[in-house]
C-alpha cells in the first residue's frame, strides 16, 4: 500500500510539472497582442489537469486513511520528500497563477480605458457590441468570389 501512495504522489508531481508548463504558456499567450482565441485550449488543458490532480489527491487521502498515515509523512522519508516537492510546486503554481491574473487584469483595465475614452467622444455610440457603427447597415448576403 505504501508503494501505491508513492505512485500517486509521483503522478501528482508529474501533473504539477505539466501545470507549470501550461501556466508558463498561458503567460506567454497573455503577453501577446491578441490572445483570446488561444486561451481557450490552455484553459481546457489546465482544467483537465486540475481534475486529474483532484482525483489523485482523493486517492492519496483514502489510502492514507487505510494506512493511518497522513501528510506531511514525517515517518516515511521517501513520502515526505515527495510531499515537500508537491507543496513547493503548489506554491510556485499559486504565484504563477497570481501573475497571470495580474496580466489579465491589466489587459482588461486597458480595454476598459479604451472603451471609456471612446464613450467620451462626441458620439458616445461609436461602435455597437458587434463592432459596427450604429448607423451602418450590415448586409446578410455574401458576395461570390
pLDDT (tens digit per residue) in 40-68: 889 899 999 999 999 999 999 999 999 99
Q: Peptide bond before 72: cis, by omega within 30 degrees of 0? A: yes
Which of these, 44, 20, 18, lies nearest to 95 by C-alpha position? Answer: 20
Residues 61, 70: Cα–Cα separation, whole Å = 7
Q: Which residue has the cell 455574401?
A: 142
- Helix or strand or coil: residue 34? coil
Q: How confident is the model at residue 98 (pLDDT cuts 50, 70, 90)?
A: very high
Which of these, 90, 134, 104, lies nearest to 39 by C-alpha position? Answer: 104
Q: Which residue has the cell 480605458?
A: 113
The alpha-carbon radius of gyration of the chain (Å, integer) is: 24
Q: How confident is the model at residue 145 (pLDDT cuts 50, 70, 90)?
A: very low
Domain boundaries, the chain: 2-105
Q: What is the pLDDT of residues 84-93, one digit of tens each?
A: 999 999 999 9
pTM score: 0.75
**Mean pLDDT score of the chain:** 86
Q: How confident is the model at residue 81 (pLDDT cuts 50, 70, 90)?
A: very high
Amino acid at each position: 500500500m505504501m508503494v501505491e501512495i508513492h505512485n500517486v504522489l509521483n503522478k501528482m508531481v508529474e501533473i504539477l510539472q505539466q501545470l507549470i508548463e501550461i501556466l508558463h504558456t498561458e503567460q506567454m499567450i497573455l503577453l501577446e497582442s491578441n490572445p483570446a482565441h488561444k486561451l481557450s485550449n490552455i484553459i481546457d488543458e489546465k482544467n483537465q489537469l486540475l481534475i486529474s490532480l483532484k482525483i489523485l489527491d482523493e486517492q492519496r487521502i483514502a489510502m492514507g486513511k487505510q494506512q493511518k498515515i497522513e501528510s506531511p509523512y514525517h515517518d516515511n522519508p521517501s513520502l515526505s520528500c515527495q510531499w515537500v516537492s508537491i507543496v513547493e510546486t503548489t506554491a510556485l503554481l499559486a504565484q504563477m497563477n497570481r501573475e497571470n491574473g495580474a496580466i489579465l487584469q491589466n489587459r482588461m483595465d486597458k480595454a476598459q480605458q479604451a472603451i471609456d475614452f471612446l464613450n467620451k467622444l462626441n458620439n458616445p455610440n461609436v461602435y455597437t457590441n458587434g463592432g459596427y457603427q450604429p448607423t451602418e447597415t450590415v448586409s446578410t448576403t455574401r458576395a461570390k468570389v
